[in-house]
């Protein structure tokens, strides 16, 4: 049996008499040297915010005047507004940190909401047993408990990631739901407190656990704001100046190089994850002890997700988290305020979503560029089909 006929069937090689000149095509490729990522990220977010604010009147029946007025008074215009911004900012900034520390090592902590729930739960539970104690005893212990709970909550996904290579995205994310279920069980069961306003709330934490307000003139915001503002700076400094921070920076930039330098990569990864979990728990405790005072599902309002987004947009830089977090809080507070004049809070979500997409485009622009290539027009027939 001759081999030739079979080969002819399998080969699509058809000679032509001339070569067609290659067509010019556009293609998206990575840049050899990325542009300044922070600049483009922040810039893009900034532009996104401006555009959204400008477009806001389109989405509501309220008059633009009343809309902007409400936004202003809800944020910088009044003391209450400013207080609202800062109150929102407290758990948000900590959540941002909870995401950014793992993110420095390219680890995604998508379970911050769950850590918030579990942290608040732990703090609540502890507070019930320490009702006779003074503030300066009860508060630190509650914080500690919340942080330990948060760290434990992320432990299994962290171990699975470091030792089995299981992506931490889904496990941390699914633990959110588990935490919510756990919280709901306690809040509707053993700790249930009937509430006139309806909704799910547990028995209130003892008054000594209340963080109390820091009063600056007519501005009243709870003491948690000090932590929320100082921790990002602290962590930034730690990353910059301590040995731990040095290792995180180097390993985050190149795991290979970290190993080469004798660093314990696994330990660093796990420590970063656990820190993220602990901070998530802390965020929950801060919300509980600063504003809600009763355990319930409202202890977070997508705060964890928002924190993650802030961390990504800030490029894991803690100072960026501080700035972006405050900006975000302003947006959210404005969103609260415009509901008074009839606009819906949901539009705020949409606005934030659009801003985020701007942000990612900004980053993509810094990383990629459009290239005009002589993507070859095959001068000979092409094999393979379209599947």
Partner 1 sequence: MNDTLLVDSIASAISSSTAVLIAATGELLVEKTGVYNIALEGVMLVGALTGFLVDLWTGSWMVGLLAAGAAGALYALLYGVITILFRTDLIVVGVALILIAQGVTNTLGTSHVGQTTRSVIPLWNVPGLSNIPFIGPAIFRQSVVTYIAILLPLGAIFLYSRTRHGLNMRSIGENPETADTSGIPVIGWRLFYTALGGLFAGVGGAVITLGIVKDWVSNVTAGEGWIAFAVVFFSGWQPGWIIVGAYFFGALSVLGYVGQALGWPISSQFFTILPYIGTVLVMILRAWLQRRRGQVSWPAALGLPFYRG
Partner 2 sequence: MTAGGHAADALTLRGIEKRFGDLVAVKELSLSFRAGEVHALLGENGAGKTTLMNVAAGFLTPDQGEIDVGGQPMSFGSPRVALAAGIGMVHQHFRLVEKFTVAENLAIGATDVSQVTSTHQLVERASKLAERFGVDIDATQPVWALSEGEKQRVEILRTLSRGAKVLILDEPTAVLSTEEAEHLCTNLRMMAAEGTTVVFISHKLPEVLSVADRISVMRHGALLATKDRPDCTVESLSKLMFEELDAVRETLRHRQRKGGGEVLRVSHLSARTERGVPALHDVSFSVNQNEIVGIVGVAGNGQLELVHMVTGHRRPDEGEITIGGKLVQDIRDTLRAGLAYIPEDRKGTGLIPSQSIWRNAIMRNYHEAPVNRGGVISGSEARTLAAELIDRVDLSTKDTAVLVQQLSGGNAQKLLAGRELDHRRRVVVAVNPTQGLDVRAASAVRDALDDACEKGLAVLLISADLDEVLGLADRILVLYEGKIAGEFNAEEADRDRIGLLMGGATP
Residues forming a β-bridge with 215: 220
Distances (CA, A) of 72 to 55, 67, 105, 330, 354: 16, 9, 38, 10, 21
Restricting to residues 237-266, name those near partner 1 by CB under 8 A.
none
One of 189, 243, 370, 372 touching partner 2 (CB under 8 A): 243
Total number of residues binding partner 2 (CB under 8 A)?
Answer: 43
- The closest alpha carbon to 295, from 179, 208, 213, 138, belongs to 179
Residues forming a β-bridge with 27: 371
Return the SS3 of 221: strand
261 binds partner 2 (CB under 8 A): yes
* Window of 45-53, 190-198, 320-328, 372-380 that interacts with partner 2 by CB under 8 A: 372-380
336 binds partner 1 (CB under 8 A): no
10 binds partner 2 (CB under 8 A): yes
In whole angstroms, the minimum distance from the beta carbon of 63 to partner 1 comes to 17
In a 10 Å sphere around its CB, with 0-12 CB exposed, 13-18 middle and 19+ buried, how is residue 13 labelled?
exposed
CB 309 within 8 A of CB 356: yes
Q: How far is the C-alpha of 185 from the C-alpha of 191, rounded, in Å?
A: 9
164 binds partner 2 (CB under 8 A): no
In whole angstroms, the minimum distance from the beta carbon of 274 to partner 1 comes to 17
One of 128, 255, 354, 369 touching partner 1 (CB under 8 A): 354
In a 10 Å sphere around its CB, with 0-12 CB exposed, 13-18 middle and 19+ buried, how is residue 166 labelled?
middle
Residue 296 exposure: Cα atoms within 13 Å on the Cβ side: 17
110 binds partner 1 (CB under 8 A): yes
Q: Tokens for 57? A: 């009147």
165 binds partner 1 (CB under 8 A): yes
282 binds partner 1 (CB under 8 A): no
> Which residues make up the interface to partner 1 (CB under 8 A)?
27-30, 59, 108, 110, 156-157, 160, 164-166, 169-171, 173-175, 177-178, 180-182, 184-185, 188-189, 305, 308-309, 312-313, 344, 346-354, 356-357, 359-361, 363-364, 367-368, 382-387
Q: Which residues bind partner 2 (CB under 8 A)?
A: 3, 6-7, 9-13, 15-16, 19-20, 22, 241-246, 249-250, 253-254, 256-257, 259-262, 373-385, 387
């Amino acid at each position: 049996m001759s081999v030739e006929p079979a080969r002819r069937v399998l080969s699509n090689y058809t000679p032509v008499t001339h070569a067609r000149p290659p067509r010019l095509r556009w293609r998206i490729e990575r840049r050899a040297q990325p542009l300044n990522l922070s600049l483009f990220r922040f810039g893009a977010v900034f532009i996104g915010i401006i555009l959204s604010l400008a477009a806001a009147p389109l989405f509501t029946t309220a008059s633009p005047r009343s809309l902007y007025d409400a936004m202003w008074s809800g944020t910088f215009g009044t003391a209450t507004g400013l207080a609202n911004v800062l109150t929102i900012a407290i758990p948000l900034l900590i959540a941002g940190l909870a995401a950014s520390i793992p993110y420095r090592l390219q680890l995604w902590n998508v379970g911050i909401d769950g850590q918030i729930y579990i942290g608040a739960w732990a703090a609540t539970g502890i507070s019930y047993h320490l009702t006779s104690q003074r503030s300066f005893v009860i508060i630190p212990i509650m914080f500690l408990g919340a942080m330990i709970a948060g760290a434990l909550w992320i432990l299994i996904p962290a171990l699975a990631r470091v030792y089995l290579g299981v992506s931490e995205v889904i496990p941390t994310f699914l633990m959110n739901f588990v935490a919510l279920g756990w919280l709901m069980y306690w809040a509707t069961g053993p700790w249930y407190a009937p509430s006139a306003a309806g909704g799910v709330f547990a028995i209130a934490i003892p008054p000594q656990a209340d963080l109390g307000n820091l009063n600056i003139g007519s501005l009243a915001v709870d003491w948690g704001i000090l932590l929320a503002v100082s921790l990002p700076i602290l962590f930034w400094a730690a990353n910059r100046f301590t040995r731990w921070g040095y290792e995180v920076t180097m390993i985050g930039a190149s795991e290979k190089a970290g190993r080469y330098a004798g660093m314990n990569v696994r330990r660093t990864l796990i420590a970063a994850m656990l820190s993220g979990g602990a901070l998530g728990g802390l965020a929950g405790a801060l919300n509980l002890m600063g504003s809600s005072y009763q355990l319930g599902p409202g202890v977070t309002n997508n705060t964890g997700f928002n924190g993650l987004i802030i961390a990504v947009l800030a490029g894991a830089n803690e100072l960026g988290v501080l700035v972006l977090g405050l900006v975000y809080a302003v947006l959210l507070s404005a969103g609260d305020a415009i509901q008074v004049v009839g606009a819906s809070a949901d539009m705020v979500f949409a606005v934030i979503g659009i801003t985020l997409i701007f942000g990612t485009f900004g980053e993509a622009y810094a990383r990629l560029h459009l290239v005009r290539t002589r993507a070859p027009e095959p001068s000979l027939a092409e094999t393979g089909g379209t599947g």
